[in-house]
Amino acid sequence: MKKKQLFLLHFAGGSIYSFEFLRSHYIDFEMVPVELPGRGKRVKEKLLTSYKEAINDIFSQITDKLNGEPFIIYGHSLGSSLGLGVTDLLEKNNTPPQCLIVSGNAGPGLIPSTKRSDLERTDFIAMLNELGGLPEELLQSDELLDFVIPILRADFEIVEEHFYAENIIVNAPIVAVMGNLEKYVDQINNWKKHTLSEFKPYVLKGHHFFIHNNVERLIEIFDTSFNDCASLKQ
Protein backbone atom coordinates (compact mmCIF):
# COMPACT_ATOMS: atom_id res chain seq x y z
CA MET A 1 0.00 0.00 0.00
CA LYS A 2 1.39 3.40 -1.01
CA LYS A 3 1.98 5.93 1.76
CA LYS A 4 1.59 9.69 1.77
CA GLN A 5 4.98 11.22 1.04
CA LEU A 6 7.29 13.57 2.91
CA PHE A 7 9.95 15.15 0.68
CA LEU A 8 12.98 16.29 2.68
CA LEU A 9 15.15 19.19 1.49
CA HIS A 10 18.51 19.45 3.26
CA PHE A 11 20.30 22.40 4.83
CA ALA A 12 23.52 23.97 3.46
CA GLY A 13 26.23 21.32 3.25
CA GLY A 14 23.66 18.56 3.72
CA SER A 15 22.74 15.54 1.64
CA ILE A 16 20.13 12.77 1.45
CA TYR A 17 21.65 11.44 4.69
CA SER A 18 20.90 14.61 6.66
CA PHE A 19 17.53 13.37 7.88
CA GLU A 20 18.56 9.87 8.95
CA PHE A 21 17.82 10.91 12.54
CA LEU A 22 14.11 10.78 11.68
CA ARG A 23 14.26 7.12 10.66
CA SER A 24 14.72 5.88 14.22
CA HIS A 25 11.27 7.26 15.11
CA TYR A 26 7.89 6.13 13.91
CA ILE A 27 6.66 8.27 11.09
CA ASP A 28 3.52 7.71 9.05
CA PHE A 29 5.04 8.89 5.78
CA GLU A 30 7.21 7.56 3.02
CA MET A 31 10.27 9.70 3.64
CA VAL A 32 11.89 10.84 0.39
CA PRO A 33 15.12 12.82 0.91
CA VAL A 34 16.46 14.67 -2.11
CA GLU A 35 19.85 16.29 -2.57
CA LEU A 36 21.63 18.85 -4.69
CA PRO A 37 24.60 17.84 -6.88
CA GLY A 38 28.11 17.68 -5.47
CA ARG A 39 27.48 15.66 -2.32
CA GLY A 40 26.11 12.32 -1.09
CA LYS A 41 25.21 10.01 -3.95
CA ARG A 42 25.77 12.87 -6.41
CA VAL A 43 29.26 13.74 -5.24
CA LYS A 44 30.75 13.54 -8.75
CA GLU A 45 28.32 16.08 -10.18
CA LYS A 46 29.08 19.79 -10.47
CA LEU A 47 27.96 22.00 -7.59
CA LEU A 48 25.16 24.47 -8.29
CA THR A 49 25.30 28.11 -7.22
CA SER A 50 22.07 29.36 -8.83
CA TYR A 51 18.74 29.42 -6.99
CA LYS A 52 16.81 28.79 -10.21
CA GLU A 53 18.99 25.84 -11.18
CA ALA A 54 18.69 24.40 -7.68
CA ILE A 55 14.88 24.54 -7.52
CA ASN A 56 14.61 23.07 -11.03
CA ASP A 57 16.92 20.23 -10.01
CA ILE A 58 14.84 19.41 -6.91
CA PHE A 59 11.58 19.82 -8.82
CA SER A 60 12.74 17.17 -11.30
CA GLN A 61 13.68 14.77 -8.50
CA ILE A 62 10.33 15.19 -6.76
CA THR A 63 8.19 14.79 -9.86
CA ASP A 64 10.11 11.61 -10.70
CA LYS A 65 9.35 10.16 -7.25
CA LEU A 66 5.67 11.12 -6.80
CA ASN A 67 3.57 8.02 -6.11
CA GLY A 68 0.13 9.55 -6.65
CA GLU A 69 -0.58 10.01 -2.94
CA PRO A 70 -0.82 13.42 -1.22
CA PHE A 71 2.56 14.78 -0.15
CA ILE A 72 4.20 17.58 1.77
CA ILE A 73 7.49 19.43 1.29
CA TYR A 74 9.78 19.95 4.29
CA GLY A 75 13.03 21.89 4.21
CA HIS A 76 15.46 23.08 6.87
CA SER A 77 17.44 26.32 6.49
CA LEU A 78 18.63 26.28 2.84
CA GLY A 79 15.94 23.64 2.26
CA SER A 80 13.28 26.10 3.39
CA SER A 81 14.36 28.70 0.85
CA LEU A 82 14.41 26.08 -1.89
CA GLY A 83 11.12 24.59 -0.70
CA LEU A 84 9.29 27.82 -1.47
CA GLY A 85 10.54 27.92 -5.06
CA VAL A 86 9.96 24.20 -5.57
CA THR A 87 6.39 24.48 -4.24
CA ASP A 88 5.78 27.27 -6.73
CA LEU A 89 7.04 25.06 -9.59
CA LEU A 90 4.96 22.09 -8.42
CA GLU A 91 1.81 24.23 -8.32
CA LYS A 92 2.48 25.49 -11.84
CA ASN A 93 2.89 21.84 -12.87
CA ASN A 94 -0.53 20.97 -11.35
CA THR A 95 1.16 18.65 -8.84
CA PRO A 96 0.85 20.79 -5.68
CA PRO A 97 1.95 19.65 -2.24
CA GLN A 98 -0.55 19.43 0.61
CA CYS A 99 1.53 22.05 2.42
CA LEU A 100 5.03 23.47 2.79
CA ILE A 101 6.82 23.08 6.13
CA VAL A 102 9.91 25.21 6.69
CA SER A 103 12.33 25.32 9.61
CA GLY A 104 15.47 27.14 10.68
CA ASN A 105 14.68 30.05 8.41
CA ALA A 106 12.52 33.17 8.79
CA GLY A 107 11.93 33.46 5.06
CA PRO A 108 13.20 35.47 2.07
CA GLY A 109 14.42 39.03 2.43
CA LEU A 110 16.12 38.72 5.83
CA ILE A 111 19.56 37.55 4.71
CA PRO A 112 22.45 39.89 5.71
CA SER A 113 23.77 42.11 2.93
CA THR A 114 27.29 40.69 3.43
CA LYS A 115 28.00 37.80 1.06
CA ARG A 116 28.76 35.00 3.48
CA SER A 117 29.85 32.72 0.63
CA ASP A 118 32.82 35.05 -0.06
CA LEU A 119 34.15 35.20 3.50
CA GLU A 120 37.78 34.28 4.09
CA ARG A 121 38.22 30.68 5.26
CA THR A 122 38.70 31.56 8.95
CA ASP A 123 35.73 33.94 8.99
CA PHE A 124 33.62 31.43 7.05
CA ILE A 125 34.33 28.69 9.59
CA ALA A 126 33.59 31.09 12.45
CA MET A 127 30.24 31.95 10.86
CA LEU A 128 29.39 28.25 10.54
CA ASN A 129 30.35 27.69 14.16
CA GLU A 130 27.98 30.46 15.16
CA LEU A 131 25.17 28.59 13.40
CA GLY A 132 26.17 25.45 15.29
CA GLY A 133 26.47 23.25 12.24
CA LEU A 134 30.04 21.93 12.41
CA PRO A 135 30.86 18.77 14.41
CA GLU A 136 34.15 18.80 16.32
CA GLU A 137 35.65 15.96 14.26
CA LEU A 138 35.18 18.08 11.13
CA LEU A 139 36.91 21.08 12.67
CA GLN A 140 39.91 18.91 13.57
CA SER A 141 40.45 17.70 10.00
CA ASP A 142 41.79 20.01 7.29
CA GLU A 143 41.11 17.27 4.73
CA LEU A 144 37.41 17.11 5.63
CA LEU A 145 37.16 20.89 5.74
CA ASP A 146 38.73 21.13 2.28
CA PHE A 147 35.99 18.81 1.01
CA VAL A 148 33.05 20.39 2.83
CA ILE A 149 33.79 24.12 2.53
CA PRO A 150 33.33 24.35 -1.28
CA ILE A 151 29.93 22.62 -0.90
CA LEU A 152 28.91 25.04 1.84
CA ARG A 153 30.10 28.07 -0.14
CA ALA A 154 28.05 26.95 -3.15
CA ASP A 155 24.98 26.41 -0.99
CA PHE A 156 25.32 29.81 0.67
CA GLU A 157 25.63 31.39 -2.76
CA ILE A 158 22.27 29.82 -3.67
CA VAL A 159 20.71 31.33 -0.54
CA GLU A 160 22.19 34.73 -1.36
CA GLU A 161 20.14 34.84 -4.55
CA HIS A 162 17.21 35.50 -2.20
CA PHE A 163 15.75 38.14 -4.50
CA TYR A 164 14.42 35.30 -6.69
CA ALA A 165 12.30 34.05 -3.79
CA GLU A 166 11.18 37.38 -2.31
CA ASN A 167 8.23 37.72 -4.67
CA ILE A 168 7.11 34.08 -4.65
CA ILE A 169 3.64 33.53 -3.23
CA VAL A 170 2.22 30.00 -3.19
CA ASN A 171 -1.28 28.62 -2.76
CA ALA A 172 -0.16 25.93 -0.33
CA PRO A 173 -0.42 26.55 3.42
CA ILE A 174 2.93 27.28 5.06
CA VAL A 175 3.99 25.97 8.47
CA ALA A 176 7.14 27.58 9.88
CA VAL A 177 9.23 26.16 12.74
CA MET A 178 12.21 27.84 14.41
CA GLY A 179 14.36 27.46 17.50
CA ASN A 180 13.79 30.04 20.23
CA LEU A 181 17.52 30.91 20.26
CA GLU A 182 17.80 31.48 16.50
CA LYS A 183 18.54 34.83 14.96
CA TYR A 184 15.40 36.29 13.34
CA VAL A 185 13.06 33.98 15.29
CA ASP A 186 11.08 37.11 16.15
CA GLN A 187 10.38 37.51 12.42
CA ILE A 188 9.05 34.01 11.81
CA ASN A 189 5.73 35.52 10.63
CA ASN A 190 7.62 36.83 7.59
CA TRP A 191 6.61 33.53 5.95
CA LYS A 192 2.95 34.51 6.16
CA LYS A 193 3.26 36.89 3.22
CA HIS A 194 4.37 34.03 0.96
CA THR A 195 1.11 32.07 1.04
CA LEU A 196 -2.42 32.79 -0.12
CA SER A 197 -3.64 30.11 2.31
CA GLU A 198 -3.21 29.36 6.02
CA PHE A 199 -0.03 30.05 7.96
CA LYS A 200 1.02 28.55 11.29
CA PRO A 201 4.22 29.22 13.26
CA TYR A 202 5.88 27.03 15.90
CA VAL A 203 8.82 28.00 18.12
CA LEU A 204 10.69 25.12 19.78
CA LYS A 205 13.62 25.15 22.18
CA GLY A 206 17.07 25.32 20.69
CA HIS A 207 19.55 26.91 18.29
CA HIS A 208 19.64 26.61 14.50
CA PHE A 209 19.81 22.81 14.54
CA PHE A 210 17.07 22.42 17.14
CA ILE A 211 15.53 19.74 14.90
CA HIS A 212 17.90 17.10 16.31
CA ASN A 213 16.68 17.65 19.85
CA ASN A 214 12.98 17.94 18.99
CA VAL A 215 12.40 14.89 16.78
CA GLU A 216 9.13 13.73 18.33
CA ARG A 217 7.70 17.25 18.30
CA LEU A 218 8.79 17.69 14.69
CA ILE A 219 7.01 14.49 13.68
CA GLU A 220 3.89 15.68 15.50
CA ILE A 221 4.06 18.87 13.45
CA PHE A 222 4.33 16.85 10.22
CA ASP A 223 1.25 14.81 11.13
CA THR A 224 -0.82 17.74 12.40
CA SER A 225 0.08 19.92 9.43
CA PHE A 226 -0.76 17.20 6.93
CA ASN A 227 -4.17 16.60 8.52
CA ASP A 228 -4.95 20.32 8.92
CA CYS A 229 -4.02 21.03 5.30
CA ALA A 230 -6.05 18.05 4.09
CA SER A 231 -9.14 19.43 5.85
CA LEU A 232 -8.67 22.77 4.09
CA LYS A 233 -9.08 21.04 0.72
CA GLN A 234 -12.34 19.31 1.65
Nearest to 175 by CA among 147, 203, 148: 203
- Residues 36 and 14: their CA atoms lie apart, in Å, by 9
Q: Are residues 48 and 39 in contact, defined by beta-carbon separation less than 8 angstroms?
A: no
- pTM score, whole prediction: 0.92
CB atoms within 10 A of CB 216: 9
pLDDT band at 142 (very low <50, low <70, confident <90, very high): confident
pLDDT band at 233 (very low <50, low <70, confident <90, very high): low
Per-domain residue ranges of the chain? 5-232
- Residues 116 and 68: their CA atoms lie apart, in Å, by 40
Rg of the chain taking only CA atoms, in angstroms: 17
Helices (H) and strands (E) in the chain, counts: 6, 6
- In our burial notation (b when 16+ CB lie closer than 10 A, e otherwise), range 116-143 reads bbebeeeebbebbeebebbeeebeeeee
pLDDT, residue 210, reads: 94
Instruction: Give pLDDT tens digits for 30-58.
Output: 999 999 999 999 999 999 999 999 999 99
Mean per-residue pLDDT, 117-132: 79
CATH class of 5-232: alpha beta
